[in-house]
Structure formats: C-alpha cells, structure tokens
Amino acid sequence: MARTKTRKKVQYAEFSNCFDADSRQWRGRWHEHFGNNNPIVLELGCGQAELSYALAKQYPEVNFIGVDVKHVRMWHAAGRALEEGVQNIAFLHIHLLWLAEYFADHEVSELWITFPDPFPKNKHAKHRMINPNFLSVYRRILKTEGTVIFKTDSRELFLYALEIFVREKNIRMMELSFDLHNNAPHIHADFKTLTQYEKMFMAEEKPINLVQFAFSE
Ligand SMILES: C[S@@+](CC[C@H](N)C(=O)[O-])C[C@H]1O[C@@H](n2cnc3c(N)ncnc32)[C@H](O)[C@@H]1O
C-alpha cells in the first residue's frame, strides 16, 4: 500500500501535466503551458478530478486545472490524460491557501468547488473552501466576468455560504438550487455532471445544493 503511494508520488512528479508547490513560475503564464490563450478553469479540491476530466473532454477549447492538496488522488486522471492525449487538463498539488501565488490577478475564467469537506465545527470554519478569506482570493484571481460554481450535499455548509454572501454584499448569485437533480430543469446540464461523491449522495437521496455566483465591482 505504502509502496503504491510512493510509486504514484514519483510518477506524479514525472508527468508533464502535473505541477507541484515549486511551480510558481507559471503564475500568469499557464497559457504557455497549454500553448494557447483559451480560458482557464480551476477545480479546487478536485480529488480524482472526475469533473475536470469530463469537462476537458467535452470542451477542448477550454483549459482545466485540478487543484488538490493530495496529489495521489490526481495521479490517475493525470496518467489517463497523458495516455488518451487530453492536452487541455493539468494538475496542481498545492494547499488552497497559496492559490494567489500560482495564479495572477484575473488569470482564471471559472472556478468549480464540488463536495468539499464540510468542516461542521465552527472552530474549523477557516478550512471551509467557501469562507471570507478564500473568497477574497477567488475574487482576485477571477476575471471580472468570471463565476464560481459551488455544489454540496451539506445543507449546513450551503447555508453558511449563503450567509457569507449576504455579508460580503458584492456577490451576485446567478443560479441557485436546493435540489439540483429533482427540481432544477432550467439549470445547465454541465452543472449536473456527476462524480463518485455526487452519485453516492444521490443514492442516499440527499438533495444536492448548487450556487453559481460572480463578484461585482
Ligand atoms: C470530498 S473530496 C471532493 C472531491 C471532488 N471535488 C469531487 O466532487 O469528487 C475533497 C477534496 O478536497 C481536497 N482538499 C481539502 N482541503 C483542501 C485545501 N485546503 N487545498 C486543496 N485541496 C483540499 C481533499 O484533498 C479532497 O481531495
């Protein structure tokens, strides 16, 4: 088991589509890695990056970067992308706290955050991927017209996020659903792309919450 993990770590470091904490030189220059000026979409806390992978195949004219603090989770998707020649996806192994060191102001067109750990205890609120500190970083790296798509099975986390949006004042919600798969036919099919986590929560009959929002000036 430990040996498998070590092998994945070594391979991650060798894969040409994988980046680590020492990749700050790509800040503001990710388009050079991809070899085009196509929009850049980040999936934060991507885990196995199932969402980014599916969207990257569907939208070859968009560049996707999965970001996760655990690179072993991204290893499979990274290897598969190389094998299948999916060139518009990359992986970045960092903690979200350092995001602004890897992406320049307004470099990113869209952010996805799906099924992050809910961190239910208030004393752990600083780890929630939607909190005032992280929002200020997202605002900084997103293009003016850029949006964040946030999905969770945790109603508590979702309500926490909505309370923050009210307090932040300059957040504009564009889509909102408390039951994405049963009561939101108007919401775009891309937002309903399923990962293992989402399938598991749906099997438990948990309603999926979704919000798409943008930062106003
Ligand atoms: C519950 S999984 C969800 C995976 C994926 N978004 C999905 O829907 O299938 C949460 C992921 O977020 C990552 N994560 C948690 N905190 C993080 C942080 N501060 N920075 C980067 N990744 C983080 C974890 O390593 C884990 O892979």
69-88 residue pLDDT tens: 999 999 999 999 999 999 99
CA proximity to 12, closest of 69, 95, 88 = 69
Q: Which of 20, 105, 117, 190 is catalytic?
A: 117
User: Has residue 40 got a pLDDT over 80?
Assistant: yes
Rounded to whole angstroms, the Cα distance separating 58 from 192 reads: 14
pTM above 0.85, yes or no: yes
Confidence label for 11 from pLDDT (cuts 50, 70 and 90): confident
Ligand 1 in contact with 114 (CB < 6 A)?
Answer: yes
* pLDDT one-digit tens code per residue, 131-147: 999 999 999 999 999 99
**Sequential DSSP letters for 122-167:** GGGGGGSSSSHHHHHHHHHHEEEEEEEEEEES-HHHHHHHHHHHHH
* pLDDT one-digit tens code per residue, 103-140: 999 999 999 999 999 999 999 999 999 999 999 999 99
- Please name the residue whose Cα sits nearest to atom 15 of ligand 1: 45
Q: What is the pLDDT of residue 1?
A: 64
Rounded to whole angstroms, the Cα distance separating 117 from 134 reads: 15
129 CA to centre of ligand 1 in angstroms: 9
Residues making up the chain, counted from first to last: 217
Q: Is 117 a residue of the active site?
A: yes
User: Has residue 217 got a pLDDT over 80?
Assistant: no
Q: What is the dihedral of CA 29, 83, 9, 96, to 10 degrees?
A: 40
217 CA to centre of ligand 1 in angstroms: 29
User: Has residue 164 got a pLDDT over 80?
Assistant: yes
Helix (H, G, I), strand (E, B) or coil at 72: helix
- Mean pLDDT, the chain, rounded, equals 95
Q: What is the pLDDT of residue 169?
A: 81
